[in-house]
Amino acid sequence: MVERQLRGRGIEDERVLSAMLEVPREAFVPPDIRDDAYADGALPIGEGQTISQPWIVAFMSQLLGLQGAEKVLEVGTGSGYGAAVLSRLCAHVITIERHAPLAERARIALRQLGYKNVEVLDGDGTDGVPGRAPFDGISVTATAEGDPPQALLAQLAEHAPLVIPIRRRGREHLMLIRDGKQEALVPVRFVPLVGPA
């Protein structure tokens, strides 16, 4: 996976590649599809959600430019796989999931694998976690419509990046937002980012 799907497709950050090699993806997918854990695509994990393809996880992690001492917010825990990868790249990960059953499964998987610097919260990710801000990077694994949530922008540390898929005019792109500048990078398809119920 690392050589063909990642390094061969532009993932150059050696720390990201090492994290992708270290984290056992099969531990974060349902037992009946573990044989497909390293396939080059998204997989269903329940509650209408998916675990992103390995390349997307690596690419989003690379965009954060982490050096090791940062505190990162992930919006959309899903299976917990992305948080596990981020945990190898920074000092502390706070990840928030609106589907309580997914949050609990992720919490258990991360605990069993010994990822002690990941904190899984239940809640509305569009609000971020204001009491724990600012964050040195924010990664969002669901698509915002039109614009990124202002609450997330407000919780970024100075010069920190926000990596988020955004849909505009019917097209969905992964965006890198930093210092008020927005850069559309690649077409993507994520589940919608859902706000308060």
User: How buried is 145 (Cβ within 10 angstroms: 0-12 exposed, 13-18 middle, 19+ buried)?
Assistant: exposed
Annotation marks residue 52 as catalytic: yes
Tokens in use for 97?
A: 């999931």
Question: For the chain, how big is the Rg over CA atoms in Å?
Answer: 15
Tokens in use for 117?
A: 């610097």
Which one from 52, 61, 87, 139 is the annotated catalytic residue?
A: 52
What is the rounded distance in angstroms from the CA atom of residue 16 to the CA atom of residue 83? 13
Q: What element of type H or E holds 50?
A: strand 49-51
User: How buried is 100 (Cβ within 10 angstroms: 0-12 exposed, 13-18 middle, 19+ buried)?
Assistant: exposed
What is the rounded distance in angstroms from the CA atom of residue 197 to the CA atom of residue 194? 8
Hey, which residues are catalytic here? 52
